[in-house]
Each structure stands twice: as C-alpha cells, then as structure tokens.
C-alpha cells in the first residue's frame, strides 16, 4: 500500500489533477494514504478552468502550504511518491534549485533525498532554456519530468479522455496498476 502526496500548483491543467485524484481515490486497494496540497493559485485556476470547486469535497487529507508538520515533510514519514500535477515552471525551478520555502518544495526535496518517486507533470509551452535546464537538474537528481502531453493512440473522444492519457501515464510511472490503453493490445 503506497503513501502518495499530490500537489496541485497554479499552472493551467486542473483537469489533470482532478482526474488523477479521482482515479487515485478509487485505487484504495493500492493506496494506503493519499494527501493533497494545493496552492491558492491552483484553487483559482481550478475554479476558472473546471467551473467548480470540487476540490473542496474530495475525501483526501489536506495540508496547507506552510504545514511543515505534515508527515511527508520528513523522510521519516515514509511516503512513497509525490506527484505535482500540473506543475508550474516556478515550482519546478524552486525544486531544481533546492529551495524549500513551502510544503510543496520541501516534500519534493524529501522525495529526492530519500530516493523516492517524484513526478512533476510540467504544464508549459514552449520551454525556454531555463525550463529545460531545470528539468535536466530534476532528472539528474532522480525525479521524473512528465510533460502534460496527451497521446491519441486510444482515439479519445472527450477532453476528459484526452487528459486521462496523461493521468494514466503518471499512474504507471508511480508504480500503480490501472486499466488503461496499452500499445499493441486491443
């Protein structure tokens, strides 16, 4: 049973976070603990993009951005994975620089130092050289940068299905099993 923390930053792409969290909630046979962090900008973007505030009613453990007593703020909390979705380039840059000025960046730092899975779902286009170098730093440190780039092999018909192609990839990267499209299978 994995312990997972999901961080939602203020980048565009709230649909990815919503679909991921909903899927993870249903995976209670693989997840022992699911925690959630959201920036204030993330809440604003969620309400703007999805026209709701459903994040307020999710059955997960919420932590504030300055709550350094959260279990995943320390390696002794033994969390297995952190997923930042969507991950702003500002957050990614602070993580790459080792700046732990809030719970999101501290938790990411813990994941890297403990050699646990850190998955950053970058949501920006185009990338500038600073973004690319920060992504390289994260990768060299052991993190996974997974751009929010959907696939179309499964012939998605709705925006939710398109977003789910990214979310399912993230779930697999986290080491969880989910029923999703696999190349070469019917």
Question: pLDDT at residue 56 above 80?
Answer: yes
How big is the CA angle at 70 (ends 68 and 73), to the nearest 5 degrees? 65
- Please state which CATH class domain 2-173 belongs to: alpha beta
**Residue corresponding to tokens 């998955």:** 119
What is the DSSP code (8-state) at residue 183?
Answer: T
Any idea where the domains of the chain sit in the sequence? Answer: 2-173
CA separation for the pair 33, 83 (Å, rounded): 14
Q: 0.85 cut: is pTM over it? A: yes
Give the relative orientation of helices 129-140 and 89-97 as an angle to the nearest 10 degrees: 50
**Residue corresponding to tokens 């453990």:** 61
CA separation for the pair 74, 171 (Å, rounded): 23
Query: pLDDT digit string (tens) for 116-170?
Result: 999 999 999 999 999 999 999 999 999 999 999 998 988 999 999 999 999 999 9
């Amino acid at each position: 049973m994995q312990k997972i923390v999901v961080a939602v930053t203020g980048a565009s792409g709230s649909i990815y976070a919503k679909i991921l969290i909903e899927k993870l909630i249903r995976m209670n046979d693989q997840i022992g603990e699911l925690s959630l962090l959201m920036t204030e900008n993330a809440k604003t973007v969620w309400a703007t993009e999805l026209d709701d505030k459903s994040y307020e009613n999710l059955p997960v453990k919420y932590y504030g951005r300055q709550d350094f007593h959260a279990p995943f703020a320390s390696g002794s909390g033994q969390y297995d994975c952190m997923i930042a979705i969507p991950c702003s380039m500002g957050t990614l840059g602070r993580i790459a620089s080792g700046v732990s000025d809030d719970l999101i960046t501290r938790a990411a730092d813990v994941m890297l130092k403990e050699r646990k899975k850190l998955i950053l779902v970058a949501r920006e286009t185009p990338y500038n050289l600073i973004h690319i170098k920060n992504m390289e730093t994260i990768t060299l440190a052991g993190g996974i940068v997974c751009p929010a780039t959907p696939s179309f092999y499964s012939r998605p018909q709705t925006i939710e299905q398109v977003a789910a192609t990214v979310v399912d990839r993230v779930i697999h990267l986290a080491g969880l099993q989910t029923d999703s499209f696999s190349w070469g299978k019917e």
